[in-house]
Structure 1
Amino acid sequence: MEKWQSTDFHCDVLWKLLENNTLSFIHDSSDKLDVTLPRLQQAESIMQTFAVYIPDEMEKSMVPILQSIDLFYRKVLTAPGMSFVRTAQDAAKLLNGGSIGALLSLEGADGLQGDPAMLRILFKLGVRALGLTWNHANWAADGVLEPRQGGLTKKGLAIVEECNFLGILLDVSHLCEQSFWDLVNTSTKPFIASHSNMKSICDHPRNLTDDQVRAIIAVDGLVGLTFVPQFVRSGGRADIDDVLKHVERLCELGGQNHLMFGSDFDGIDVHVTGLHHPGETGKLVEALLRYYSEEQVKSFLVKNTIGFLSKHLPK
């Protein structure tokens, strides 16, 4: 089988490095990381998004956020062949090969504590995507598991506008529906769902309704289908064929040019059978090629993502 380039819009390596700074992204002899440099090379990856995620037991401040970004600079960007993706030009260059792009995102704005100045500092440090909250509520928005299912706060709406101004991509994956629609009505720029699946295939709170998917397509955004088993298939183990059902549904809704993947590797303890780490991406490619043309599969894996970044990241 020929080598196929790939991209992935969500992994949680930085979270694991934050909790255990003895781990190595370059050479993980402990086998505690899903995403490592050798496995990205095995996947012919040309871009990986690294999320900054601060777990509940850590303080919700800039301190762990900055510690995570420091780890990104010291342990990821120093790896041979990695390149920082901050601009549209950085993204476009990745199609030429020769390096693996690393894009930095923030999963949950809790630590910004409602201060746009903190966001501007993170932008200077290279953060280029932001999910306003995780599954619960914070100062900006309600997440999918927040009982009240409210929307964006006044400060949340202001942060959306600041992201639009700076050129930070907004990520709706963890937002509850009201927060999602508030963002739709506020943002003047296209946005993404970095790691969510199709609710019409698997009825999980973290998945997107058909109407939400249509709204993302309407603004020329992207949906990153994810490999979290409970988001892939209800009530049991999931395999690659189950992932393909979400691909099919997204395409049925007109999302062929808006489909990417956001694995959530290193954020999960259980994996889709056959997709335990980036090095197994070839199995997904083989399955996709049974139903889709080579051109379509290349779009799913690379062209949709890089085309979007080349258009919507800062110049």
Structure 2
Amino acid sequence: MKVIDLHCDVLARMHKSKGNLSFTDSNDLDVTYEKLKQGGCHIQAFAIFISPSIKSDQKFQVALDQIHYFYTEVIGKNQNMKALKAWDDFDQLQEGQIGAFLTLEGVDCIGNDMQKLSILRELGVLSIGLTWNNANLAADGVGEERGAGLTAFGKEIVGFCNENKILTDVSHLSEKAFWDVMDLAHFPIASHSNSKTVCNHRRNLTDEQATHLFNKNGLIHVVYNPPFVIEEGPVSVSDLITHIDHFCSLGGVGQIGLGSDFDGISEKIIGLEDASMQPALINELLKKYSEDEVKGFAYKNFLDHRPGKKIPQHLPEEEVLS
């Protein structure tokens, strides 16, 4: 079964190695071309993530460096990898091709310069998360004790996303910033977040947040990072599926997807350690859900809810339950 994965940190890993990791087949990467093929990946999102340790005046250059690795190493050296720079490109993939697109995890790299954001969009960025865990000029992240919402600049960025049909990613935002985004965003998504009811971690979403996302035709892509799955102990694929079960109970069966966070996590779910192992999750899901529902989780829900697609309005709660 095809898989669309909304989050990995390969580009940051490649940048840190100064280009010494081969995207084609490196044993040191969770996501490589060979592993994507083995795992049945249809489309992989590649995050641009700038470490907080990078000096402010160097961050935009680091973002450009990661984009350089995307086009030269990911796309340029693997002929069946295809860069997707517009939503219509998702429908143009041929048999045997794997789509790849860029996302931005935190806008720290643009400072207060919207022109830099326009440049990133021209280079192919299709999803923008305003923060990582820290605060920046746009918003507070979940790690900022102040817990403030969007700034005027942050609201301008959400407007830019709306105008350019870019996803606004709420993973990593403080709760106040989440609600500010939900008031404004046309295309909200949580690219790699789980349920706080199932696992009480600051990076996960409350039931109220999840339900509101579903009501706005947004998506939640579950993340494979063990501390976000259960609070302690070894983590199994079944533990991850518990989050999918819970989101389904909130009416989100048609709005759930996958966001592994491979190459950005130090711990792994047993049996789901890299991109080649995605079928292990799919096979477990097929034991509990219909094939159509699992196709939705794996890839179809995202394709159906991407910007520009006509989608049905969210059903009233009584219709969902019936």
TM-score bracket relative to the smaller structure = over 0.9
Aligned equivalents of 1:168, 1:62: Cα separation in 2? 20
SS in 1 for 2:204: coil
Match of 2:313 in 1: none
Instruction: State which of 32, 36, 41 in structure 2 corresponds to 1:40.
Output: 36
Say if 2:224 and 2:268, in contact at 8 Å, map to a contact too.
yes
- 1:146-161 aligned at under 5 Å gives the runs 146-161=144-159
Aligned residue number for residue 223 of structure 2: 226
Equivalent pair of 2:14/2:69 in contact (CA under 8 Å) = yes
Give distance in 1, aligned partners of 2:241 and 2:120: 36
Within a 5 Å distance, the mapping from 1:238-257 to structure 2 comes to 238-257=235-254
Identical positions, percent: 40
User: What residue in structure 2 maps to residue 303 of structure 1?
Assistant: 300
Match of 1:174 in 2: 172
- Tell me the amino acid that sits aligned with residue 134 of structure 1: W
Mapped partners of 1:222, 1:311: distance in 2: 15
Q: Secondary structure at the match of 1:273?
A: coil
1:164 aligned to 2:187?
A: no
**Bigger CA drift: 71-80 or 201-210?**
71-80
2:20 and 2:34 map into 1 onto residues whose CA distance is: 18
Find the aligned partners of 1:181 and 1:9 in 2 and give their Cα distance.
22
1:53 aligns with 2:52: no
How high is the TM-score relative to the length of structure 2? Answer: 0.92
Asked if residue 133 in structure 1 is aligned to residue 128 in structure 2, the reply is: no
Distance 1:239 1:261 in 2: 16
Structure 1 length as normaliser, TM-score?
Answer: 0.95
Contact 1:167/1:312 (8 A) holds in 2: no
Alignment-derived partner of residue 193 in structure 2: 196
Distance 2:23 2:204 in 1: 29
Q: How many residues align?
A: 306
Can you list the C-alpha shifts for 1:161-202, whole angstroms capped at 9, x where unaligned? 111112221100000100000111122x12100000001100
Q: Which amino acid is the alignment partner of residue 105 of structure 2?
A: E
Match among 48, 52, 65 for residue 67 of structure 1: 65
Letter in 2 for 1:273: I
Shift of 1:103: 1.1
Instruction: Answer whether contact 1:43 1:278 (CA < 8 A) is retained.
Output: yes
Match of 2:273 among 250, 263, 276: 276
Give me the whole-angstrom Cα distance separating, in 1, the residues matched to 2:128 and 2:92: 23
The alignment partner of 1:128 has SS state of strand
Secondary structure at the counterpart of residue 92 of structure 2: helix
Please name the residue that 1:217 is paired with.
Answer: 214
Specify whether residues 172 and 11 from structure 1 end up closer, same or farther in structure 2 by C-alpha distance, changes over 3 A only. same
Contact 2:25 2:35 in 1 (8 A): no
Q: CA RMSD in A?
A: 1.3
Q: Distance in 2 between matches of 1:93 and 1:222?
A: 23
Residue segments in structure 1 that go unaligned for 5+ positions in a row: none
Consecutive unaligned residues in structure 2, runs of 5 or more: 311-322
Counterpart-to-counterpart distance in 2, 1:62 and 1:98: 34
Q: 1:97 aligns with which of 87, 91, 95?
A: 95
Residue 113 (structure 2) aligns with: 115
1:84: which partner in 2? 83
The residue type paired with residue 63 of structure 1 is Q
